[in-house]
Structure 1
Amino acid sequence: MDDGKEVNPPEGIVLKVEDVMGSHIEDPITFWGQPIELIEDLLKISTALTEICPFAAKVFGDPAPGKIYGGLYSEDQCWYRCKLKKMITNEKCLMTYVDYGNSETLKKSCIVELLEDMQYPGLASRFRLWGLRIPHNQDVTPFDQKIEEKLKQHQETELKLADELKHAVETKIKSLTNKVEKLRRVRCEFNENHFGDDLSEAVKVITEACLYMLHSMKKLEDTWNEYNCAQETLQACNSMDDVHILIDKRNEVRSSLYAAADEFISEVEKLPIEDRVNVLKSLASSLDAAYGPYEVEHNSNEMFDQFFEWRDNKLQEFNNIKHRTDSSLQLLSEWFRKTMKFFDLNSSASLTSTEVINDVDAVLDQAEQDVCKELEISTSQKDDADIKIICSAFNKAMQMIIKEQDLLLVIQNKYEASIQFKEQVGQWLNSYPSVEDLLSIKRSVKNLKAQLRWKLVEKNNLEDLGSYDQVKVQEMKEEICRLRDDIYEEICREQREYERLGDIVQNWFPELPLLYPEAAIRTYMQSAGLLTDSLERDLFDPEPMKELSSKRPLVCSEIKSQKILLKGYSVDTATEAQMIERAAQYHRAWSVLKEESGLLPILYLFACKSEPVTYVMVPFYPGWCLKTVQAIKPLIPEELCKVMQGVAVGLQTLHNSNIIHGALHPHNIFAVNRERGVVGDFDFTKTVDQRNIASWMIADKLELVAPEVRNGQPAVLASDVFAYGCLLLWLNFPKNNLKTNSDGTPDVSELSIDPKMLSLVSRMICFNPDDRLRVDQLLEEDDFLKLKKPDIIQEETKAPAPDEIIMNNVFTDETKSDLLGGDST
């Protein structure tokens, strides 16, 4: 009533009277409630939620509108069905309890997922007192509070009455048995690693059986350092007066080092190194799988103390709860036994009903409370503080594992080095290396060379007579050929002996070059084994090639069925030293892969005794120069692919040693047997920039010199890549007069070329050297040298006749080196 007048229902409206239990009041005339007949349904829902919600998954993300969840009501800490009304913050939601009508703000951690069988409409309905309305000027707050209190009292009364319904005992026992059944499964499946059991065992293994720096290893390292210092001092010594004193000191330290290595080996062999390595590897793998990834932290050993303290507390708490659960269930079991005796009419036990029923509710409640608590701890996730302690202990454990693994690796490497040292140095403890074998070979070479000269004089004298015995002359020629082969064989033996002595000098006796200057060991080592004074031009049966070389002495010959080329370079003292240094650097690069290096090998260097000329001896590939091959019979795509891949490998070999070829052009590449690409050597008397601007750095009209070099900048590794990319264009488009862009790069816009290959070539011939592909990147490209139609369509060219080649190509100034097996002359 708002004005004292009675309000009648509208005409046609039939009023219905029903008993309703109010559960929530919105205002003095509006409330929520449930018909009395649904009270038992409410009780079933409450019982089901009590069993389900504590073990249900927490809501992930934001709750979905319209979906029903389980919510933990703040007033009584019981679970009720609810759904989203609105989001308050990222972590808080306003939820409406669908079976009671009231709402409250809940954290996401208090909301859990419910299965489909709980997704049905709420039992609460909204009611309004008929004919009443609230005056605009009336404060309804005090009234609301009173009604709310009355409603709560009424609700508590109704729930209390519901507990006394006929199935209350069955419901309570059923709830408890379900939880005990779950607890039994959890105890069977529960992994004590929940409290870091495996991490605890790992920490014990790491800390209790850790291998530390061995005493003998520290002694070994100190003695090694002393030995290396002694060797370095000997190597730097240039005085014969001091060398023997230094040798004695070195030998004394070497004996000490031998004893230290022996002691270290004995100590290591007594340790379970391999077993420890395997244990640490297994530990690292299992811990990383359980707790990874590993993060570097600067933790002290206190992290382990904190971890063990946390673990002990957790285990104590868990064991206490398990003990209380076992005690509660034991009391309940005793009650069931007494009850069985009481209801057994044949039993002689004299029990009263009071003794049976007394405190049964307290026993049941305590059992359920303890079971729930153990379930909660057994299945709950660790909080942030727990996770931080475990992660810190894990990171510290991994740090110690890695540190010990590194130490074990050092021990293993030093053990192997010590074994090798003992084996190698053992022969020198009571002996000293001799250069007599080398000197003997040199004497043999001199003797053979004297025989050869005598035979040559004898042959020349016989031929000068005019009339001579042809058979005898032929026998002399054969004898001369055998002598040349014998001399070369002895020189090869000399090189092998130099290699042996060079290794001895490098590793054990650096004083040998000083003690035996006549052996010229230092000269051999400085030239990477190329320079020899045993070779002379007159030892060969030379075939002068004046028509092919107008700039330097050039001859070809054959030794032991191998065609070789001798290229002479005019040098002075400074130029000769630079030449030897560059040739040695080139030879060291070749020596890494040798035949697989993609480089033309240098066989020997030797100086002419009568004039300032140094000769380079290389294999001779007549007719296999790329320029000549393309002029006579161009490579087909499959052959071109193999050859240019070999050229790329050759460039990579040089670039890996930081050597810029600088003279890559069609005359300096060899397509050996049309299937193996070899990069030729270059003029070692010139700098890379002097080689790079040479007039023969063209392929027909295609300029191979990189733009940066033409602009006056020094050549770089990328300058070789530019030349390589231009050679690819020349090989596939020999008759296409490519235009040049304003920046000096070839214009490929009008070429018929596959887009992928166009992109690849463009990255080799671009203007900026920093943007060009490296050779190692080029070799890794999937589309590298897939030179098959229609990728790159080779232009058909008509091969000229051999005579035409000789007249118009081979003997021009541009192509004189086509048959030389080396750089252009």
Structure 2
Amino acid sequence: MDKTVPGKMELVGVTHVVDAITFWAQNVSDDPAVERMTSVLSARCPTARRLTGNPCPQKVYGALFSEDRCWYRCKVQHHDDDKFTVCYIDYGNMELVSRSSLVELPEDLQTGCLAKKYRFWGFHVNSDEDSQHFVQGKIFLRNLIYGKKLRIQKKSVCFDGTILVHAFQGDLDIGEEVMKMKFAKLSIPGCREGSNPTWQDPLGPWGLRTPERASQGDTVQAGSQVLVPKPRPAFPEHVPQVLKEKSTTTALQPASLLKKKLDQELMEENERLKEEKSAQHRSALLLGKELTEAQTELQRMKDSRMRDAIEIQKLKEDNGVLRQKADELGKQLRDVQQELQVTKQQVTDSVEVADKRLETAVGDRLGQLAQKVESLRGVREACARGTYRDSLLEAIDIVAHNGISSPASLEKLEAVWREYDLAQDMVKACHKREDLEELIEKRNGVRRMLAVAVDDFIQEVDGLPISKRMDTLEAVGASLTTVFGSFSMEEVGDETFERFRQWNSQKQQETQSVKEGTDETLKFLCSWFEKVVKFFSLSSESPPPLSVTAPLSVTAMGVDVLLQRAELSLCQELDVSLAEQNSRDMEIVSSAFHRVMQRIGKEQSLLRAVREKYLLNSQFQEEVLRWQDDTPKADQLFSIKKRIKNLRSQLRWRLVEQGSLEEAEEVDLPEIEKKNTEIELTRNALFQEIGLEKEEYRKLAVLARGGFPELPLLYHDADLLSFMNSEGLVVKSLDRDLFASVPLRELSSRRPLVCTEFQGQQVVLKGYCVDAQSEASTVERATQYYRASMFGEEQKGLLPLLALFFGKSDPMAYVMVPYIPCGMLQLVQNSSPLNTSEITTVMRGVVLGLRTLHGSGVIHGSLHPSNVFVFGREQGLLGDFDFTKDPDQRVADPRMLAGALSLVAPEVAQGEPPSPACDMYALGCLLLWLHFPEVKFALKPDGCLSDTSEMKLDPRLRILLPQLLCSSSRRLAASDVLSHDYFSGQ
């Protein structure tokens, strides 16, 4: 019950309107509390526990509001199955929500509501809730006060907590405005819902609502009696405004006189209302008569209009028939005219063509001859620049001459290398340190011999034009490939070069013979044209006759024959130059081309091998110059280990000192703060040294895999083999006690998870119980995953592993991975589900992760919504799995569910061992769940999902899903899924 002081003015902000006289509001002084509550709910609700079972009506829950997707406090009014009607207690509005939108709230949020329910004092609603008038009153009050600030004066409180008030906006009385609009009536003060108020104003509502004001807007039924409630105890300072104003002049009137005066005023108001009602009745009769006359006139006009419309429609039909006949006649006339015009045009064209042919007969023939001459000129110019035969002949000369053979020093170098590799293998196979020194000395002797051979080889190769020769061969090969296309690697003999040369010489002779014949014919034609020019020249006094100037061979034939011979010669040369090769010619050219490309390929392979050996031996030469007679030392590594041991000791001692200070009877806060700073500095220095240790291990591992395999045996205390076998994943210098960690209780349902910082990065430590037998297999599985994530493709889609270490005081293995806050796919779908395009982007990253693992021979076996991480709603990462378990155990995990959908492949459920295909089945189920999280899918008898063709899916996804949710033999691999249309656009 709200214990408020009646009569005191307060300022509230309206949050919800119930009806024309009832609303919810928050006290303006509570604004900071509202903001704090909103911030706390947005932080806690997304990860809070979902409601299970039946709700408690008195308990406060958190609900996700459908309009703005934000969290607010509420109480459940009633529920039906998984649908709950809730009232948002800090605002007053109600909504129907699903079970997934309700969460449990802790005790510190089970506080009173920030909004209260108010009702105008002295009023009641004069219509039912289902009536239009009730709805209009609610809309009127909402438009008047919703979202605005009001001044209220509290009058009383009902048993249900509703506060009866006078409300003002500026100088405007809100209750009076609602009454003026006929949405409410005056009533006996108090609660009309069947419960009496806990306290009331002893003089009732009339202290502020005087008879004069009632006569201006309030309505009272005729003959009704207004009863004044019996006086009840009131607050001392609560005095009606009217009495305050009159207290300085007159004494209070008795209640009977006040009632008599009020009854008289109400009777006068009733008489006035009766007169107004009579006037309105007369006006209504007059308007009814006028309306009847207007309706009669309107009906007459409608009948006249209908008759006119029928007549117009008949005229339109007659006009249409006539127009159709006129169109048909016009079309026939146009067809006849067009046919006549075509006939005339054909006759005219025939006559014109015949005349033009006679006029241009000589010119057309000379023009055709000129075109052939121009074509032949272009062919000869192209041949002058070189033909494909010339290119192939030039390539034959290049590959047959000036080639680079294998260096003479290479054979000796390879022999010394074999001896050196044998010496290295003996060093690697040595397990006794007392025998190692002799083997190293022998190896170093062979190394000195190898250094001399390497120097001779490098000097010889430096004198060879390898780069220039490779550029030449590359250019020749590219040029020939452009002309002839691809080639076969089938071996062809060098005799093809000689056969090609003979064939090419024969082709050149044939072409030259035809060319000479063409030149002779054109020479005759030019001589005749010169004679014609001289004959028709008027400047010549005595032009020679045609029969004298022309050669005998020309005069014996006519000009038509001469033109015909020239045209034949031109066509013959064009045919020879542009003729396609027959099968024999193609076989000769193809064989020569293939042999050239084979020679080029062999020489390029030799030159590349020489270049690679040159680079390898140059690198070896640099190494020899550095470690010719010495072995790399691990002194720097042991120095770092010593510093790490010292820092670990300092850190543990300072942690003990910190605990002592915190548990002391008198807490010294400055000293504790100082100790915290020292601990943080020591921890950062320790992590920095661990990073330097890992870098030193990496350098020694490179040397051990290269020319110094004796390093692991020489420095057994460094345990270099462990670092090399785990690819640097296992970090023995780490321990759980070294970290300042925060437990992640909301994510630690199956294993302890803590969040901490390592080398400037937020990380998560996952703890697994291990024993002496499972430790080796855990390292092996983690190394497989680590090797795939570190040395796979550029886009791996895997959550990277940062380190693996074992507890020194507990039988635990700790895996370190990056921390992605609120990135788990399950949490994202619970709070703010991904849209269609985001699902495609995120799941493409998951497919990339599966392709990376499957390419390394690793089966994930634990693909579920809690093991997929969403980074910025733009990238998906596949999380690591439990490295203490094999694939059979991981597939049997109870968390292999997406909603109610099992992610276990049907063949695994029937007893078959896990395979990469079972990961792809889980991928298909995840895609289905992300698009239909609430749907319960049925399985076929073979264990696969039923047909999904009727669902509203992206057409590309509808094609992809059946290829994932099928038998394992037909299921797509990860690489095939990435190239599918559904993902290929990403």
TM-score, with length taken from structure 1 = 0.64
Shift of 1:761: 4.0
- Which whole-Å CA distance do the structure 2 matches of 1:196 and 1:510 have between them? 58
Q: Does 1:251 align with 2:444?
A: yes
**1:522-550: per-residue Cα shift (whole Å, max 9, x none)?**
11111111212212222223556688657
Let me know the Cα RMSD of the aligned residues.
4.5
Match of 2:487 in 1: 294
Structure 2: gaps (5+ residues): 1-353, 355-364, 531-540, 543-547
Matched ranges for 1:791-806 at <5 A: none
1:677 alignment partner, SS class: strand
Matched-pair contact (CA < 8 Å) for 1:485–1:560: yes
Residues 485 and 317 of structure 1, relative CA distance in 2, 3 Å threshold: closer
Greater CA deviation, 604-613 or 421-430? 421-430
Shift of 1:459: 3.2
Match of 1:126 in 2: none
1:569 alignment partner, SS class: strand
- Which whole-Å CA distance do the structure 2 matches of 1:184 and 1:602 have between them? 74
Match of 1:35 in 2: none
Matched-pair contact (CA < 8 Å) for 2:444–2:629: no
Matched ranges for 1:140-159 at <5 A: none
Match of 2:406 in 1: 213
Match of 2:733 in 1: 534
Match of 1:742 in 2: 941
> Across the two proteins, how many residue pairs are aligned to each other?
611
Match of 2:476 in 1: 283
Matched-pair contact (CA < 8 Å) for 2:500–2:589: yes
Match of 1:432 in 2: 631
- Which whole-Å CA distance do the structure 2 matches of 1:515 and 1:307 have between them? 66
- Which whole-Å CA distance do the structure 2 matches of 1:663 and 1:327 have between them? 88
Shift of 1:678: 2.3
Matched ranges for 1:265-344 at <5 A: 265-315=458-508
Match of 1:685 in 2: 884
- Which whole-Å CA distance do the structure 2 matches of 1:397 and 1:756 have between them? 51
Residues 711 and 627 of structure 1, relative CA distance in 2, 3 Å threshold: same
Match of 1:232 in 2: 425
Match of 1:408 in 2: 607
Match of 2:928 in 1: 729
- Which whole-Å CA distance do the structure 1 matches of 2:694 and 2:457 have between them? 37
- Which whole-Å CA distance do the structure 2 matches of 1:406 and 1:594 have between them? 28
Residues 685 and 301 of structure 1, relative CA distance in 2, 3 Å threshold: same
Residues 632 and 716 of structure 1, relative CA distance in 2, 3 Å threshold: same
Matched ranges for 1:630-709 at <5 A: 630-709=829-908
Match of 1:85 in 2: none
Residues 328 and 491 of structure 1, relative CA distance in 2, 3 Å threshold: closer
Matched ranges for 1:67-78 at <5 A: none
- Which whole-Å CA distance do the structure 2 matches of 1:703 and 1:519 have between them? 48
- Which whole-Å CA distance do the structure 2 matches of 1:546 and 1:280 have between them? 67
The letter of the residue matching 2:678 is: E
- Which whole-Å CA distance do the structure 2 matches of 1:335 and 1:629 have between them? 96
The letter of the residue matching 2:609 is: V
Residues 622 and 377 of structure 1, relative CA distance in 2, 3 Å threshold: closer
Matched ranges for 1:462-477 at <5 A: 462-477=661-676
Matched-pair contact (CA < 8 Å) for 1:223–1:256: yes
Match of 1:417 in 2: 616
Q: Does 1:450 align with 2:649?
A: yes
- Which whole-Å CA distance do the structure 2 matches of 1:277 and 1:322 have between them? 39
Q: Does 1:264 align with 2:457?
A: yes
Match of 2:958 in 1: 759
The letter of the residue matching 1:735 is: E
1:196 alignment partner, SS class: helix
Which of 394, 402, 415 pairs up with 1:201?
A: 394
Residues 535 and 302 of structure 1, relative CA distance in 2, 3 Å threshold: same
Matched-pair contact (CA < 8 Å) for 1:195–1:311: no
Residues 786 and 442 of structure 1, relative CA distance in 2, 3 Å threshold: same
Matched-pair contact (CA < 8 Å) for 1:641–1:785: no
- Which whole-Å CA distance do the structure 1 matches of 2:932 and 2:760 have between them? 38
Matched-pair contact (CA < 8 Å) for 2:752–2:766: yes
**1:550-605: per-residue Cα shift (whole Å, max 9, x none)?**
76555444445544333333323331111101101111111136995332222222
Matched-pair contact (CA < 8 Å) for 2:806–2:813: yes
Matched-pair contact (CA < 8 Å) for 1:627–1:667: yes
The letter of the residue matching 1:300 is: G
Match of 1:794 in 2: none
The letter of the residue matching 1:720 is: D
- Which whole-Å CA distance do the structure 2 matches of 1:786 and 1:308 have between them? 53
- Which whole-Å CA distance do the structure 2 matches of 1:720 and 1:615 have between them? 25
Residues 195 and 679 of structure 1, relative CA distance in 2, 3 Å threshold: closer
Match of 2:917 in 1: 718
Match of 1:512 in 2: 711
Greater CA deviation, 322-331 or 580-589? 322-331
Matched-pair contact (CA < 8 Å) for 2:521–2:569: no
Shift of 1:404: 2.1
Shift of 1:436: 1.0
Shift of 1:732: 1.9
Residues 332 and 241 of structure 1, relative CA distance in 2, 3 Å threshold: same
**1:286-322: per-residue Cα shift (whole Å, max 9, x none)?**
3334444434443211111222233334445666777
Residues 435 and 751 of structure 1, relative CA distance in 2, 3 Å threshold: farther
Match of 2:588 in 1: 389
Matched-pair contact (CA < 8 Å) for 1:626–1:667: yes
The letter of the residue matching 2:464 is: L
Larger Rg: 2
The letter of the residue matching 2:444 is: N
Residues 306 and 610 of structure 1, relative CA distance in 2, 3 Å threshold: same
- Which whole-Å CA distance do the structure 2 matches of 1:784 and 1:624 have between them? 22
Residues 222 and 473 of structure 1, relative CA distance in 2, 3 Å threshold: same
Residues 376 and 326 of structure 1, relative CA distance in 2, 3 Å threshold: closer
2:981 alignment partner, SS class: coil
Residues 250 and 333 of structure 1, relative CA distance in 2, 3 Å threshold: same
Matched-pair contact (CA < 8 Å) for 1:557–1:565: yes
Matched-pair contact (CA < 8 Å) for 2:846–2:877: yes
- Which whole-Å CA distance do the structure 1 matches of 2:794 and 2:575 have between them? 67
1:522 alignment partner, SS class: helix
Matched-pair contact (CA < 8 Å) for 2:458–2:614: yes
Which of 805, 814, 827 pairs up with 1:606?
A: 805
- Which whole-Å CA distance do the structure 1 matches of 2:570 and 2:448 have between them? 70
Shift of 1:705: 0.7
Larger RCO, structure (CA 8 Å, separation 6 or more): 1
Matched-pair contact (CA < 8 Å) for 2:388–2:483: no
Q: Does 1:620 align with 2:819?
A: yes
- Which whole-Å CA distance do the structure 1 matches of 2:586 and 2:978 have between them? 48
TM-score, with length taken from structure 2 = 0.54
Shift of 1:703: 0.4
- Which whole-Å CA distance do the structure 1 matches of 2:981 and 2:417 have between them? 48
- Which whole-Å CA distance do the structure 2 matches of 1:661 and 1:503 have between them? 30
- Which whole-Å CA distance do the structure 2 matches of 1:785 and 1:205 have between them? 46
- Which whole-Å CA distance do the structure 1 matches of 2:589 and 2:750 have between them? 79
1:783 alignment partner, SS class: helix
Matched-pair contact (CA < 8 Å) for 1:325–1:371: no
- Which whole-Å CA distance do the structure 1 matches of 2:553 and 2:839 have between them? 102
- Which whole-Å CA distance do the structure 1 matches of 2:467 and 2:920 have between them? 48
- Which whole-Å CA distance do the structure 1 matches of 2:959 and 2:927 have between them? 11
Match of 2:86 in 1: none
- Which whole-Å CA distance do the structure 2 matches of 1:543 and 1:375 have between them? 94
Matched ranges for 1:150-169 at <5 A: none
Shift of 1:733: 1.3
- Which whole-Å CA distance do the structure 2 matches of 1:553 and 1:688 have between them? 22
Matched-pair contact (CA < 8 Å) for 1:234–1:510: yes
Match of 2:300 in 1: none
2:607 alignment partner, SS class: helix
